[in-house]
Amino acid sequence: MAKGRFDDPMTEYSRPGQPLAEIAAYDALAFLLEAGADEAIADEAVDRLRRIVAQPAESRSAPAMPGTPANRAMPVATSGAAEPPMAASEAVATARQMARAAGDLPALEVALAAFDGCALKSTATRLVFSDGVPGSRLMVIGEAPGRDEDIEGRPFVGRSGQLLDQMLKAIGLDRTTVYIANVVPWRPPGNRKPTAAEVTLCRPFLDRQIELAAPELILMLGGAATSALLSRDEGIMRLRGHFYEIGAGDRIIPAFASLHPAYLLRAPAEKKLAWRDFLAIKARLNQIAV
């Protein structure tokens, strides 16, 4: 057999004489895992966060089975699902209160880990709070964790993170000289884009994170992060390449919009635009330092 996908540590699952159908099934599974599909789904969606409302006893009674007394109800299966998430308005108010009470970044991370108002928390593996060094002059903000970030617990560690490292290095920066976070700290299922409601629920924590990190400049990567932080609907191609202002406590921080590394991996021809953007970031940092 020609070398291909099986030339990796998982080769132990391919045995001499193994039926081709089994090999093909494994190959398909490996492809799905590489593509980021890490959960099985049924033909119909199941809302696992909605608690089953208890019904009156008479409506729960099942028809008597043969040999079962008619006046004895059959056992009723219970869901075991988590409590339903709090109402959106209540959740946002709670998020604001918890974020404001955090006096430093470690306390904010603890508060965010304890926040139960966003349903993404129940589907993600772990909280992805930040990476880099708090207090750095540049804060980089992306959209949301992906599969690799969800596993490792740090933002921008997958392929897009590796490209980001190269882009930062090109202007003399690295993870010891920047602070990195995301608009949403939990991975959305299937790496989908966070909804507006999810962004709103997490926004108080991000605002406080920016305030406590106190950067001199913010770099917004991608349309989702830029739209969320600026509350604007234009596409990233219209917003990128420009400086904006973001309020953080009693400060106004300049913010620059650029393309997300994940997009650049899909459209490498656009790296020339990102290069111009990063040169603008470098020039602005140099200007602030003077």
Question: Tens of pLDDT along 129-142?
Answer: 999 999 999 999 99
Confidence tier at 289 by pLDDT (50, 70, 90) = confident
Instruction: Quote the pLDDT of residue 120.
Output: 97
Instruction: Report the predicted TM-score, pTM, of the whole model to 2 decimal places.
Output: 0.71
Average the pLDDT over each of 30-39, 175-184, 234-243 and give the range with the smallest value: 30-39
Residue among 256, 237, 260 nearest 246 (CA): 256
Q: Which CATH class is domain 88-289?
A: alpha beta
Ordered by start, the domain boundaries in the chain are 88-289
Report the alpha-carbon distance of residue 98 to residue 32 in Å, rounded: 38
Amino acid at 216: E
Amino acid at 78: T
Token pair belonging to 46:
């199941």
**pLDDT tops 80 at residue 200:** yes
Token pair belonging to 210:
């920016």
Question: Tens of pLDDT along 205-259?
Answer: 999 999 999 999 999 999 999 999 999 999 999 999 999 999 999 999 999 999 9
Q: List all residues 6 or more positions away from 178 whose beta carbon is below 8 Å from its beta carbon.
A: 132, 133, 136, 137, 138, 139, 140, 168
Q: Which residue has the tokens 């609907």?
A: 233
Q: Using alpha carbons only, what angle is made at residue 132 by residues 273 and 252, rounded to the nearest 5 degrees? A: 70
Question: Tens of pLDDT along 36-89?
Answer: 565 666 555 555 555 434 444 444 444 444 444 443 333 333 334 444 456 788
